Amino acid sequence: MCPNCRALIGRDVSPCPLCGESIRSPRSQARIVGGVLPVPSTASSAIVAATIALYAFSLYLTQKSADPSEIGGLGQIDGRVLFRLGAKFGPLIWAGEWWRLVTPIFLHAGLLHIGMNLWCLFDLGPRVESMFSTSKFIVFYLLTGVIGFAFSLIWSPYGSSIGASGSVLGLIGVLLGATFHQGTLGREYRSQLWRWLILIAVLGAFSATDNAAHLGGLVSGAALGYLVPEGEPETRATENAWNILAMISIMIIAASFALMALQMNRPLG
């Protein structure tokens, strides 16, 4: 979306063909420190980096603690490790471990699982971040993921699940909601987003997918995309409010993982 005239344009087009505004590419990039250390330069790439790091840690714990004969193929993670790291588990959430609605957003069960979600996030995250703003994107990602797992908790009070797909469906919902303000261009863009929904639905039909989390993320994302104005906040007060909400979101994520770390050595029984 052009930040000046708000028209939907191609992701690689610059300047805007309608108003001439110079467009920053929404593709997430990573700065390189000293030619060695990659540093995420957008919220999208930071979330990708954190998700990959947590998957690598969970794979390490799986290989360290599990019987080699029990380790599955394609980088499968031991279910006990996922439980330790904060998988959504109904009875413990009902018992007060609210943070299990946050930590599972960053957990994945195997290479196919994380690969699919990161593929979607690489494509959708920069779009939402450039269309709305970094602070709004952070709030959207956390809020739709938590609402998705809240739907899952209501649908399956004693079940367990993990994955970023609730937040990913939330991003699709945000983009869908925003297109209703774009007339003909919005209808054309919605047809592209429906392809993601069809692909995810087909994959969900043939795998153990938390469809309740998908629905919660999609519905909440669509509401946010329709109700929240696109673009950077227009006033200083609004900008400060979104920055505060984004900071609170980051603090909630950090606190959730801190609470997870405190219970990692608790007996499973």
> What's the rounded Cα separation, in Å, for the pair 53 and 107?
10
Provide the token pair at 78: 């031991």
Rg (alpha carbons) of the chain, rounded to whole number: 19
- What H or E segment, with its residue span, contains residue 32? strand 30-33
The confidence score (pLDDT) of residue 191 equals 73
Domains of the chain, earliest start first: 32-262 (1.20.1540.10)
> What's the rounded Cα separation, in Å, for the pair 153 and 90?
6
The confidence score (pLDDT) of residue 39 equals 44
Distances (CA, A) of 18 to 3, 23, 97, 116: 12, 12, 51, 35
DSSP 176-238: HHHHTTSHHHHHHHHHHHHHHHHHHHHHHHTTT--HHHHHHHHHHHHHHHHHSPSSS-SSHHH
Pairing of strands 30-33, 37-40: antiparallel
User: CA dihedral in degrees (165, 171, 174, 178; nearest 10)?
Assistant: -140
The confidence score (pLDDT) of residue 2 equals 62
> What's the rounded Cα separation, in Å, for the pair 98 and 139?
18
Q: Which residues are catalytic?
A: 165, 214
Mean pLDDT in each 10-residue stretch from start to end of the chain (269 residues)? 60 66 51 43 88 94 70 77 92 93 95 89 89 94 97 92 94 90 69 76 71 93 94 88 96 95 70
